[in-house]
Amino acid sequence: MVHHHHSERDHYLLGLAPLSLLVCVIELAAGFLSGSLALITDGFHSGIDYVENRLNAYIAHRATLVSNVVRLRKWGFAISLLLIGITSGLMLYEAILKLAMSTTEVLPLWTPAIAAFALAVGLRQLWLHLKVPKAYKNINHWAQWLHLITDVSASITALIGTGLSHMRGFERADSWAVIGIVGIIWLRIFVAIYEVYIYRSPTSNPRWHCRH
């Protein structure tokens, strides 16, 4: 029975990976073709999301083999937070770059459709994430939840940016939205760091010892 649940755990994590890779390829291609920084940034973010899905699947497997589960999950948690910080930093860089540009360029009409597709995939991943049994919701699951929230936020920002680029006077609205979203993301990261590495939640909490 334990091995059966472990297979479900791996299946869930590895099942998210192809979705992230698909979005990465489509958004990068569309971004470079259209010149959309929002799509390029979101595409790179989806690529890092793919890496994290594979990482969490590996940790879920190793947690069944090692004795110090807490230490393993803390390392995985730290790597996940680092990936979240990198991707949100890319979003911030994009926003500052757009604000610094003296000229604006209207994107092709099909670019919002690409951003909407990425958002739909992100929401699908969130739905799959919520279906995970409560017993599997450890700190690595939590870190991936933060990453998926970041992913959806980036897709929403890309959708707003590509959509408003067609409206006169709103060319830079997406950049300010990105700055606000990044601020919220980094606040979440700081809260997570405080709880895990400073406050140090009691190791009796089941989230530290999930071995599935």
According to DSSP, residue 210 is labeled -
Q: What percent of the chain has pLDDT over 90?
A: 8
* Average pLDDT rounded to a whole number, residues 3-11: 46
R_g of the chain, CA atoms, integer Å: 18
| Residue 64 · residue 6 · CB < 8 Å | yes
Phi-psi region of 35 (alpha: psi -120 to 50; beta: other; left: phi over 0): left
pLDDT of residue 169: 61
Query: CA-CA distance, 56 to 73, in Å (whole number)?
Result: 9
- Within 8 A by CB and 6+ apart from 17, the residues are 50, 53, 54, 57
* Average pLDDT rounded to a whole number, residues 13-40: 84
Question: Does residue 40 carry a pLDDT above 70?
Answer: yes
How does residue 120 score in pLDDT terms, banded at 50, 70 and 90? Answer: very high
The helix or strand, by DSSP H or E, that contains position 120, with its residue range, turns out to be helix 111-130
| Residue 20 · residue 47 · CB < 8 Å | yes
What DSSP line would sit under 26-92, residue for residue? HHHHHHHHHT-HHHHHHHHHHHHHHHHHHHHHHHHHHTTT-S-HHHHHHHHHHHHHHHHHHHHHHHH
Note the residue count of the chain: 212
Where do we find the tokens 């990105």? Answer: 178
Question: Does residue 105 carry a pLDDT above 70?
Answer: no
Mean pLDDT, the chain, rounded, equals: 76
Q: What is the pLDDT of residues 134-193, one digit of tens each?
A: 766 777 777 778 778 888 888 888 888 788 777 766 767 767 777 888 888 888 788 878
